[in-house]
């Protein structure tokens, strides 16, 4: 993966004060290749790479991450930022209904998405109404009606017998859209999803229709649906729709199969609009709320390790980490006090389970992970607190009678004390290995 390649590129740079231009160039080449492999549009790759380069050059080589990890981190941060940063939720109207309009080329996946989004919103307790404004493509209305039925969501359509007193509107999508919204207001639907027509290519007439619908219904969200497989064309299509209808968010469709997600980056980079959802198959449930950080990982094939690094940076107690790092340098022993301090750090960082599962090569089996219970940290604390200060720094002292005393003192069975000591000795070994191998100081030593 890119992250492996970057880390390898920088293997020998430890101890340098600052990265040089030559150091960074090799990396930049790797990043460029990875982005092109992921189908990111060429101009986007170019500008992305130059930003990363700029940041990497100013970088001071840190104590805790090697330069490769640092650059990976920059690439990731930059990706996440361009992809919209935080996950962006639907902007709900203060006075319902919230009006959501869909736009995009024909075949992009709008009508399919309409059904999925309706189902998703319904599952969140909303009462959506679907509105069929694609009056161009034969069967488009029927297709939406089928999707609505599957989702258990009603469809407003300009067909005789299907809907209400507004049905004289047949034919003009702008009027149908307006009437659909009125219908929703009258029947107290809190969300309206307006499906529209697309064409095979960007053309003025389609764009005008979309813009007219937008003007007529004044939507709270205009979602631009784009086929992730579109590749290099993503930039032009997105730009045209951004200018034509000024969308508020993006939906990536067909993000199943071979799509590598580069379109996401292309679209958000040129329009500055966030991706909000992803469509990942033909089924109604093949739908995901879009998470920029996960997509960044997908583009870089890095998995969750970056999340781990970030969490570590955010919630790790700096002093504690430095103290731990100094212990490595001084080759001091790792004590039970340290072990307990690590456990408490890990708990501060969030779910222990998640942490452990993200740790590469963590000395823990899947089964152990499933059995792990965070309340164990409390019991570990109780056990360690029942030891004398001397025992805590010299665990070798802990013979059978001392263990029995500690078990009584902390209200646990002596087997738990034994288990803790077993874990502790594993952690101790791991810390030793990290100290000699240059791992991240202050990382937890496989606490289960």
- Write out the binding residues for GTP: 104-111, 195-199, 253-256
Q: Which two tokens stand for residue 17?
A: 């004060």
Max distance between CA atoms of the chain, in angstroms, equals 90
Q: Is 327 in the site for ligand GDP (CB under 6 A)?
A: no
Q: Is 111 in the site for Mg ion (CB under 5 A)?
A: yes
Nearer to Mg ion, 110 or 220 (CB): 110
The site for ligand GDP, by CB under 6 A, has a size of 17
- In the complex, minimum distance from the CB of residue 195 to Mg ion, in angstroms, rounded to a whole number: 6
> Shortest CA distance to 62 belongs to which of 431, 321, 430?
321
Nearer to Mg ion, 110 or 392 (CB): 110
- List the interface residues with Mg ion, window 121-140 (CB under 5 A): 134
Nearer to ligand GDP, 199 or 429 (CB): 199
Alpha-carbon distances, residue 204 vs 135, 176, 199, 236, 415 (angstroms):
17, 21, 10, 14, 76
Nearer to ligand GDP, 68 or 198 (CB): 198
Select from 279, 307, 345, 376 the one that contacts ligand GDP (CB under 6 A). Answer: 279
- List the interface residues with ligand GDP, window 164-203 (CB under 6 A): 198
Nearer to ligand GDP, 290 or 339 (CB): 290
Is the bond into 97 cis (omega within 30 degrees of 0)? yes
3-class SS at 201? coil
The site for Mg ion, by CB under 5 A, has a size of 3
- In the complex, minimum distance from the CB of residue 437 to ligand GDP, in angstroms, rounded to a whole number: 44
Binding residues: 104-111, 195-199, 253-256
Q: Is 426 in the site for ligand GDP (CB under 6 A)?
A: no
Work out whether strand 287-289 and strand 275-279 pair parallel, antiparallel, or are unpaired.
antiparallel
Alpha-carbon distances, residue 8 vs 13, 28, 30, 295 (angstroms):
10, 13, 11, 23
Q: Is 111 in the site for ligand GDP (CB under 6 A)?
A: yes
Q: Is 282 in the site for ligand GDP (CB under 6 A)?
A: yes
Return phi, psi of residue 199, to 5°: -130, 170
d(CA 326, CA 335): 14
Can you tell me which residue has the tokens 């009584």?
408
- In the complex, minimum distance from the CB of residue 260 to Mg ion, in angstroms, rounded to a whole number: 25
- In the complex, minimum distance from the CB of residue 195 to ligand GDP, in angstroms, rounded to a whole number: 7
Instruction: Find out whether 294 and 280 touch, Cβ atoms under 8 Å.
Output: no
Q: Is 439 in the site for ligand GDP (CB under 6 A)?
A: no
Tell me the window of 207-215, 280-288, 338-346, 360-368 that interacts with ligand GDP (CB under 6 A): 280-288
Nearer to Mg ion, 110 or 189 (CB): 110
Contacts of 434 (CB under 8 A, 6+ apart): 328, 440, 441, 443
- List the interface residues with ligand GDP, window 234-273 (CB under 6 A): 253-254, 256
Alpha-carbon distances, residue 194 vs 53, 91, 128, 219, 416 (angstroms):
43, 15, 10, 9, 60
What residue ranges bind ligand GDP (CB under 6 A)? 104, 106-112, 198, 253-254, 256, 279-282, 286
The residues binding Mg ion (CB under 5 A) are: 110-111, 134
């Amino acid at each position: 993966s890119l992250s492996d390649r970057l880390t390898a590129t920088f293997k020998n740079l430890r101890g340098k004060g600052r990265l040089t231009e030559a150091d960074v160039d090799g990396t930049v080449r790797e990043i460029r290749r990875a982005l092109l492999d992921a189908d990111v549009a060429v101009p986007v790759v170019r500008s992305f790479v130059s930003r990363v380069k700029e940041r990497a050059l100013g970088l001071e080589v840190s104590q805790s991450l090697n330069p490769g990890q640092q650059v990976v981190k920059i690439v990731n941060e930059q990706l996440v930022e361009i992809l919209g940063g935080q996950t962006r939720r639907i902007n709900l109207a203060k006075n319902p209904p919230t009006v959501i309009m869909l736009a995009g080329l024909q075949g992009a996946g709008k009508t399919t998405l309409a059904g999925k989004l309706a189902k998703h919103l319904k599952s969140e307790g909303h009462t959506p109404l679907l509105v069929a404004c694609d009056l161009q493509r034969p069967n488009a209305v029927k297709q939406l009606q089928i999707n609505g039925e599957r989702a258990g969501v009603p469809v407003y359509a300009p067909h005789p017998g299907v809907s209400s007193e507004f049905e004289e509107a047949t034919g003009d999508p702008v009027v149908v859209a307006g009437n659909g919204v009125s219908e929703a207001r009258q029947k107290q639907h809190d969300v309206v999803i307006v499906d529209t027509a697309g064409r095979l290519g960007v053309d003025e007439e389609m764009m005008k229709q979309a813009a007219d619908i937008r003007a007529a219904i004044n939507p709270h969200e205009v979602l631009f649906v784009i086929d992730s497989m579109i590749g290099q064309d993503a930039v032009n299509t997105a730009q045209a729709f951004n200018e034509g209808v000024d969308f508020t968010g993006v939906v990536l469709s067909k993000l199943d199969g071979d799509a590598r997600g580069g379109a996401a980056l292309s679209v958000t980079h040129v329009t500055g609009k966030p991706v909000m959802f992803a469509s990942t198959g033909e089924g109604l449930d093949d739908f995901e709320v879009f998470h920029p950080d996960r997509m960044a990982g997908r583009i870089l094939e890095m998995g969750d390790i970056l999340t781990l690094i970030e969490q570590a940076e955010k919630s790790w107690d700096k002093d504690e980490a430095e103290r731990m790092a100094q212990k490595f340098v001084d080759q001091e022993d790792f004590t039970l006090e340290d072990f307990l301090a690590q456990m408490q750090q890990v708990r501060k960082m969030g779910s222990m389970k998640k942490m452990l599962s993200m740790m590469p090569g963590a000395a823990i089996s899947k089964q152990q992970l499933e059995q792990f219970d965070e309340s164990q940290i409390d019991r570990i604390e109780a056990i360690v607190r029942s030891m004398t200060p001397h025992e805590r720094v010299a665990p070798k002292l802990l013979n059978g009678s001392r263990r029995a005393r500690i078990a009584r003192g902390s209200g646990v069975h002596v087997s738990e004390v034994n288990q803790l000591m077993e874990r502790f000795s594993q952690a101790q070994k791991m810390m030793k290995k990290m100290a000699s191998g240059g791992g991240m100081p202050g990382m937890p030593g496989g606490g289960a």
